[in-house]
Amino acid sequence: MINLTKEYLKNSYGISDNVIDLYEQAIDDVNEEFSKYDEIREYNQLKVLNALQEERISDAHFTNSSGYGYGDIGRDSLDKVYARIFNCESALVRPHFVNGTHALGAGLFGNLRPGDTMMSVCGTPYDTLHNVIGISDKKNIGSLKEYGVNYKQVDLTSEGKINYDKIKTELEDDKSIKLIHIQRSTGYGWRKSLLVSQIKEIIDFVKGIKPEVICFVDNCYGEFLDTKEPTDVGADLVAGSLIKNIGGGIAPTGGYLAGKEECVTQAAYRLTVPGIGGECGSTFGVMRLLYQGLFFAPHVAIEAVKGALFCARIMELAGFEVLPKYTDKRSDIIQAIKFNDKEKLINFCKGIQLGSPIDSFVQCEPWEMPGYSDQVIMAAGAFVQGASIELSADAPIREPYIAYLQGGLTFDHAKIGILIALSKVI
């Protein structure tokens, strides 16, 4: 870091010499790790470029549609571009998905029927899915459970591994298991994200026992962190949010599903209605942003992962427990930091807010967020509201007080934000 930057940070943000020293050591340590991610980024940029070229995307795809939105070529071609990138039959990319949960919910509701069982194989799914499934401690109105869809989960072993023995027993004993749910990212857990190679292992195992089971992957935060996506290794369906990795920080809203034609169609029938599916839906003039965001996404996802790596190292140097460590191979952009202290957790999040380009003057506070059972604090001074591909930190207010940091459209910004946040806790 040049002296000019140091002086600026000290004078404008009150960053101490101690924090600057930690910074310099952390940067030295992480630099070596970065080259691995640069190679992935390079490959994925090529993959995206080629998909756009193969689908002959032109200015005409950016035009608006209205009303029913029949024959919106921008919308229909983006589905094809995604299907190429995910190396699968079909995709459904829509600004009409209000978030990732909505896309995941459409995938689940679309592909499950009364009497079927959904089984999660990596423990409790992401918080917002609890209401969808019907395992929230609230009323679960409109949930899969209310429609007669059963739910089971196989927890990770005490060492945090997939419990293959239990999965096998369940699949053999329970004929009603129609879909297995795999969550790539950690969510609000204290575990490592699942590598695509590990997802492959799970899918191969499950299909080896019961080939017709739908393998559904919650791909949130995982896109473009590997040269392969879950659909490259046998996933029948994946879903995610456009205000995370794959929107490249440009997409203003939306979600996607990709996978087998049959599974995607079922999901499309839940986004709209049977018979209409993905063939209707005007696009409000946002298609260019979805294309452009996709184009940036391989780059932005790696900027974010670099921020996470840096965060892991500097927080570790500062004496906090982190997961994953900076040398661990990553499959999502999340960095978990354990504070064991409510105040520190809240101050860290407030520091991230203070380092944001938007709403930096706002004090974030814990609140009862829809879809979450504990109070949640969210630092998100983002250009796109709540976009967690932008630098953000959030945490359910519960022991052992873990903050989840993610995003950063540029690594340089992530570094600054993390320095400010660290200053607030030491």
Residues of this chain that bind ligand PLP (CB under 6 A): 99-101, 104, 126, 128, 183, 185, 187, 218, 220-221, 241
Choice between 125 and 298, CB closer to ligand PLP: 125
DSSP letters spanning 32-72: HHHHHHHHHHHHHHHHHHHHHHHTT--GGGG----TT-TT-
Distance CA 153, CA 134 (A): 13
Choice between 239 and 425, CB closer to ligand PLP: 239
Distance CA 354, CA 12 (A): 12
- Least distance to ligand PLP from the beta carbon of 263, Å? 18
- Which 3 state secondary structure label does DSSP give 404? strand
Q: Name the residue type at position 300.
A: V
Choice between 315 and 333, CB closer to ligand PLP: 333
Choice between 77 and 120, CB closer to ligand PLP: 120
In a 13 Å sphere around the CA of 271, the CA atoms on its Cβ side amount to 32
Choice between 43 and 366, CB closer to ligand PLP: 366
Closest residue to ligand PLP, based on beta-carbon distance: 100
- Least distance to ligand PLP from the beta carbon of 122, Å? 10
- Least distance to ligand PLP from the beta carbon of 12, Å? 32
DSSP state of 194: P
- Least distance to ligand PLP from the beta carbon of 217, Å? 10
- Least distance to ligand PLP from the beta carbon of 11, Å? 37
Q: Answer left, alpha or beta for residue 421, where phi above 0 means left and psi between -120 and 50 means alpha.
A: alpha
Choice between 355 and 407, CB closer to ligand PLP: 407
- Which 3 state secondary structure label does DSSP give 394? strand
- Least distance to ligand PLP from the beta carbon of 388, Å? 7
Residues in the chain: 426
For residue 207, what are its two tokens? 């299909």
